[in-house]
Amino acid sequence: MKNLWTKNHLRILKKQYSVKGAKYVAKKTGHPVYSVVIKANSLGVYSGSLRRWTQFEVNYLLKNYSTKPADSIARSLKRNIASVENKARQLDIYVPKPKKWSEEQLKLLKELWTDKKYSIDDVAAKLNKTRPATHYMAWKMGLRRPQVWHFWTNEETKYLKKNYKKKTYVQIAKDLRMTRIAVFQKAIKSGYRLRRAPRAWTAADDDYIRQNYRKIPTREIAEKLDRSLDAIINRAGPLGISRKKKKQ
């Protein structure tokens, strides 16, 4: 049964959180630490030792949470992993820790990772893991990808010239079995970089954001509307549906 916040719990939170911290309140109320932190933030109650999240840090977390491990984000922001995971829960983008790797998966990873016939995405798909999880485990095991650098062929260059206006660098890289950065650098060097004019927001876009913001993960809204996470977040403000909550 879900442990609800009672008046007594809230009283303890408001009185002790800023003095004794989340762990003390969690012990006294029976709520998990992350629940205490989220509730305190929603009420505008802050711990004296708690460093508040800046908008830059929030944007960084939203942009990188789906592609980087929590410990990597924590190091970049100079925070601990618990802080990053608690903020992810508050932003509704938290993903539970994946299941442990089996011996069979580790053995298969070792075989596929060093085979240049398989891209990182191919390896991840065969292991039923995400790309970041696969990359992180390979790094942890000390595995190294084979050297696949080569000069661009005429066919590859022609393909890039033909498709750089139609496809993203990621899509072209996948088609050519290259990295995105390799395609990006070649496009810049060849003068193929495309600077698209900002796409105007439609009434349908705005309606979709109003109906779903704070109800489903922001990244799903971004994927649905084919826009970036930052674009959705920045659009929510003018629409009056920002994630910021008023103090009670």
pLDDT digits (tens, 9 = 90+) for 188-197: 888 887 655 5
Q: Which helix (H) or strand (E) holds 162?
A: helix 154-163
DSSP label at residue 130: -
Q: Which helix (H) or strand (E) holds 201?
A: none
> pLDDT at position 159, please?
92
Which residues, 6 or more positions from 49, have their beta carbon under 8 angstroms from its beta carbon? Answer: 21
Highest mean pLDDT of the ranges 17-21, 41-45, 123-127, 147-151 = 123-127
- In this prediction the pTM is 0.31
Label residue 106 by pLDDT band (50, 70, 90): very high
Q: Report the alpha-carbon distance of residue 111 to residue 99 in Å, rounded.
A: 21
3-state helix, strand, coil in the chain (%, to 5): 60, 0, 40
Neighbours of 54 (CB within 10 A): 10
DSSP label at residue 129: -
Q: Report the alpha-carbon distance of residue 126 to residue 48 in Å, rounded.
A: 48
> pLDDT at position 246, please?
45
Highest mean pLDDT of the ranges 45-49, 54-58, 96-100 = 54-58
> pLDDT at position 248, please?
43
Q: Give the CA distances from residue 60 to residues 72, 109, 182, 233, in Å, rounded to whole numbers and listed in that order.
A: 12, 30, 24, 12
- For the cut 70, the answer to whether the pLDDT of residue 61 exceeds it is yes
Q: Report the alpha-carbon distance of residue 32 to residue 193 in Å, rounded.
A: 49
What phi and psi, each to the nearest 5 degrees, are found at residue 216?
-130, 160
Report the chain's C-alpha Rg in angstroms.
23
Q: Give the CA distances from residue 27 to residues 9, 12, 17, 243, in Å, rounded to whole numbers and listed in that order.
A: 11, 11, 12, 28
SS3 assignment, position 213: strand
Label residue 97 by pLDDT band (50, 70, 90): low
Q: Report the alpha-carbon distance of residue 194 to residue 182 in Å, rounded.
A: 16
